[in-house]
Amino acid sequence: MKDYDFEEEFHARDRKQFRKMRKHAQDTDRSKFKKTDQVVQEFSAQENAHKGRVLSISGEGSVVESDGKQYLCSLKGFLKKEKNLTKNLIAVGDWVEFQIISEKEGAITAVLPRTTILSRTDISGKKEQLIAVNVDIVVICVSIFEPPLKPSLIDRYLIAAEKGKLTPIIVVNKIDLLEGEKELYDAFLEAYEPLGYPILSISTKTGVGIEILRNLLQNKTSVFSGQSGVGKSSILNACFGLTLKTGVLTQKTAKGAHTTSMAELITLPNGGYCVDTPGVRSFGVWSLKKEDVIEHFREFKSRCQFPDCSHTSEPNCRVVKNVKNGKIPALRYQSYLTLMNEVQTQKSKTTWN
C-alpha cells in the first residue's frame, strides 16, 4: 500500500469520485438546484434563523443538528467569500446559524464565535485546516508498537492544544502488546510524566484503563487524534459501547489503514460528545514559530545558563550536557531537535520518520 503523507491524499480518491458524481447530477438536473436557490432567498427574507451544531462535513455539505433533527446544509455564498488563510470555513463542533429549506436540508448563514480550535497546516502548507472546534479535550492517542511511537507527534499535538486552548490527555493504547518489551514505554514515561500532562495507559483488548478514561470524558467534549491504527475508534467503542468501524494494520509496516474517513461529532450515551478523526501520518502545527517550540520545551530553559541558546551546537550548553549524562531524556530532546529543525528551515510541513 502506498504511504500517504496526509490522510486527505488517501481519501481524495473517494472525493474525486464524489465530485464527478455531483457534477453529473448538477448538469443533468438544473431545475432542482435553481429551485433550492429560490427557496433559500425566501427564507433569508423571513430571517428564519435556527441555531445548530455541525456534526460532520463531507463533499455533500455539513450535517447540522438542531432540536434533535439533522439537516444537510450548504454554505451561503457570502460566507464562502470570507475564505482566506483558513482552508475550511466550517469545522466539526461549530455552532452555526442556519435556515431550514426542507425537512432534511438547510443553508448555513453564520458561524458563531469559537471557544477552542484544534487545527493543523493543510496539505499545501499554506493554510490552516480546522480539525474540530469548541472541544474541551484533545485525546492524543499513541501506541508503543503497531504503529510505533512518534514522540515528536505527541509534542506537535501538545503545542497545537496549547495554541487552541484545549486540555490534552495522552492515552497510550495497546499496552497488552508490551509484554517483556517495556524499554521504549518506560523511556516515554520517564520523558513525559514529569511534564505534568495526564497520561493514561490502556488496552481495548484487556479493558485495562477503559473505565478511568470513560469517566474522564463523561460530560465533556473531546477529540480523538493520532496516527492511523493506534486504536482511536476502538477506544471509543470500548468506552461508550459504540460501533465505529475499526481497521486492521498493514502487515508490512504495522501502520493503520485509514479506516475512519471523516471527523464526526458523536453524542455520548451518558452526556458529552466526542469527535473521532481520521488518523494522520504527519501533523504540521499551524503557524509554528521558534518561540512556540522554546515555550513548549520550557523545562530546558532553567537548565541552560545562556539566555538565547538554541541548545543545539553552542559550546558548554548545559542542556546538551544534561542530554549526554541522561538528566534530560533523549526521547524528549530528539523531539525538540525535530521541531526546532522544522521552524529553522521554515518548513511548515514535514514528516518525522
Ligand X SMILES: Nc1nc2c(ncn2[C@@H]2O[C@H](COP(=O)(O)OP(=O)(O)OP(=O)(O)O)[C@@H](O)[C@H]2O)c(=O)[nH]1
- Binding residues for ligand X, rule: CB under 6 A, are 173-174, 176-177, 203-205, 228-234, 246-249, 256-260, 278-279
Question: What Å distances lie between residue 128 and 83, 105, 206, 284, CA to CA?
Answer: 11, 28, 38, 10
Minimum CB distance to Mg ion, residue 246 (Å)? 6
Looking at 56, 233, 282, 338, which residue binds Mg ion (CB under 5 A)? 233
For Zn ion, give the closer residue by CB, 105 or 314: 314
Minimum CB distance to Zn ion, residue 316 (Å)? 9
Rounded distance between C-alpha atoms, residue 338 and residue 12, angstroms: 28
Rounded distance between C-alpha atoms, residue 145 and residue 253, angstroms: 11
228 binds, among ligand X, Zn ion, Mg ion, none (CB under 5 to 8 A by kind): ligand X
DSSP category for residue 328: S
For ligand X, give the closer residue by CB, 109 or 282: 282
What are the cell numbers at 189? 514515561
For ligand X, give the closer residue by CB, 62 or 234: 234
205 binds, among ligand X, Zn ion, Mg ion, none (CB under 5 to 8 A by kind): ligand X
Minimum CB distance to Mg ion, residue 156 (Å)? 19
Looking at 143, 152, 260, 335, which residue binds Mg ion (CB under 5 A)? 260
Minimum CB distance to Mg ion, residue 349 (Å)? 23
Rounded distance between C-alpha atoms, residue 107 and residue 179, angstroms: 53
Who contacts 238 (Cβ-Cβ below 8 Å, separation ≥6)?
Answer: 204, 207, 210
Mapped onto helix, strand or coil, the DSSP state of residue 254 is coil
Rounded distance between C-alpha atoms, residue 293 and residue 155, angstroms: 9
For Mg ion, give the closer residue by CB, 259 or 341: 259
Task: Of 48, 61, 133, give the one whose Cα is nearest residue 104.
Answer: 61
For Zn ion, give the closer residue by CB, 296 or 311: 311
Mapped onto helix, strand or coil, the DSSP state of residue 312 is coil
What are the cell numbers at 74? 450548504
For ligand X, give the closer residue by CB, 221 or 233: 233
Minimum CB distance to ligand X, residue 158 (Å)? 19
Chain positions 298 to 337 lying near Zn ion, rule: CB under 5 A, are: 304, 309, 311, 317, 319
Minimum CB distance to ligand X, residue 143 (Å)? 8
Question: What Å distances lie between residue 330 and 114, 143, 163, 184, 256, CA to CA?
Answer: 38, 19, 25, 11, 27
Site residues for Mg ion per CB under 5 A: 232-233, 259-260
Which residue ranges make up the site for Zn ion (CB under 5 A)?
Answer: 304, 309, 311, 317, 319
